[in-house]
Each structure stands twice: as C-alpha cells, then as structure tokens.
Amino acid sequence: MTNGITEAAVHDGLELEGAIHGAGVSIREQAKHAYPQSLLDGRMALIGLCAHLMKAYSGVARKTDESVSNRLVLLAAAVQSAGATEDLISEGQYFKAATALKQDMEVIVRIHEIIAGHANPGGTPQLKYLQTAGAKRFYGELNDLAHPSQEGLIARVVGTTHLDDGAIGVSPIPAFVADIAKALYQLHVYLLMETSRELIRVFAELYGDTEKHIQDAIGLWLGITAMLEAEGNLVKE
C-alpha cells in the first residue's frame, strides 16, 4: 500500500489485534490459576470421553433414524466448538463467550426436544427441556450478557482504561474478571457433561449399552460427575 494514511491505519490495526491477543495470553494464565483444579481436570476428562467414543465407533456403520441423525449432527457441532468456547472464556472474551454458551445450552435443549418428539423446525428453544433447573437461570443471565442492549452489564466484562482526569473509560483490550471467568467456565464444563451424556446415550442406542466402550464411558462419566459434585462444581439452583 502506498497511501500513508492507509498504511498507518493498518499498522494501528495490527498493533491493536496484537495487544488483544497478548492480553488474552496473560488472562489465560490468570484464569488457569483461578479455576478450581477439579473443573480443569473434569473438562479434559469429558473431552477425552467424547474423543474416545467417537474414535471407537468411527467408521462402524449402523442404521439410523431421523432422531439419531439429528442428535449426532448437534453433538458433533458441540464437540467441535468446545475448544473455541473455552478460548473465549479463558482469554477474557466474556461478551462473546456468553453468546457461545447460550448456543451450547440451546443445543442441549434441542437434543431433548428431539428425544421428546417436540422439535419444531426453526422453533424457539423450549427451556422446559433443560434438565437441570438451575441452568435455566444461567440461560437468562447469558441472554442478558449477550444482548447489545445491556450496556451496563457489558461494561462489567470489557476492559477499562484510566484517563488523565482520574476517570475510568472502556478499552477494547480485554481484562481478567475472576468471578465472571469462573462462573462461565463452570457452566462450560456443565454443558460438556451434558453433551458427553447425550453422546453416550445416542451411541448406546446405535451399538447397545452392553458394549465395552459404552460401559467404560458410563463409568468415567459417573466418576467425573461425582468428583465435580463433591467439589461443589455442578450447576445448582
């Protein structure tokens, strides 16, 4: 580019994105020390459970129906995007993380609608199909945080800058907010727990619940759930 203004703008843009990325790396380190170890361990165990089941039955064809096929699509999407959701939470992108978690919750709702035979194409998620009542409260809070009309709430999760006159302004550079990070991460792990349970359920329907891989997955899921419950890290009322 030869236009000096354009070159300066590109330079400033690259500098800003670099600063946002650098802040995210620093926030991830802070978050790692703030999260309870049981949440970190539980998350990786749940990801491992999903990976093991998918690997075990990869290429093993079974006849499916519309319910199974639709649930498999939703579960694949949920597992595929789990890392992206974790990045948003752990790198201080709480505004975007709320939207991602809300979508993850809607995936679980949709799966239960399908199971119940009440999945309307293009329909609004019916929260009565969200199994844990405490999670319904989180859905409302996520909806508030993800909505652009909630400026006061969004102000809590964006970065700040100190001005010369002593005032505090907003900044595009993310900042670590410990209580919000931990709450969003806890919900993320809960949704992974629900995702892995539904994956076990659909594979048991396809391959039989006496299959060794299915039985191993059930045992692991129960163990992870017990650990998280003992540490007080399950979503409650």
Q: In this structure, how many other beta carbons lie within 10 angstroms of the beta carbon of residue 182?
A: 17
Question: Residue 99's domain spans which residues?
Answer: 4-230
More confident residue, 205 or 136: 205
Number of domains in the chain: 1
Residue 68 predicted with pLDDT over 90? yes
Residue 98 lies in a domain: yes
Residue 237 lies in a domain: no
Residue 235 lies in a domain: no
Residue 106 lies in a domain: yes
Mean pLDDT of 72-85: 96
Residue 170 lies in a domain: yes
Q: What is the pLDDT of residues 84-102, one digit of tens each?
A: 999 999 999 998 999 999 9
More confident residue, 4 or 157: 157
More confident residue, 156 or 187: 187
Q: What percent of the chain has pLDDT over 70?
A: 86
More confident residue, 233 or 44: 44
Residue 128 lies in a domain: yes
Residue 121 predicted with pLDDT over 90? no
Residue 134 lies in a domain: yes
Please tell me which of 46-55, 150-159, 226-235 the model is most confident about, judged by mean pLDDT.
46-55
pLDDT at 237: 47
Return the DSSP state at 170. Answer: E
Q: What is the pLDDT of residues 162-186, one digit of tens each?
A: 566 666 677 888 989 999 999 899 9
More confident residue, 120 or 33: 33
| Element spanning 160, H or E | strand 159-162
User: Which pair of structure tokens corresponds to residue 59?
Assistant: 């290429």
| Element spanning 142, H or E | helix 133-146
Of 213, 220, 228, nearest to 197 by C-alpha is 220
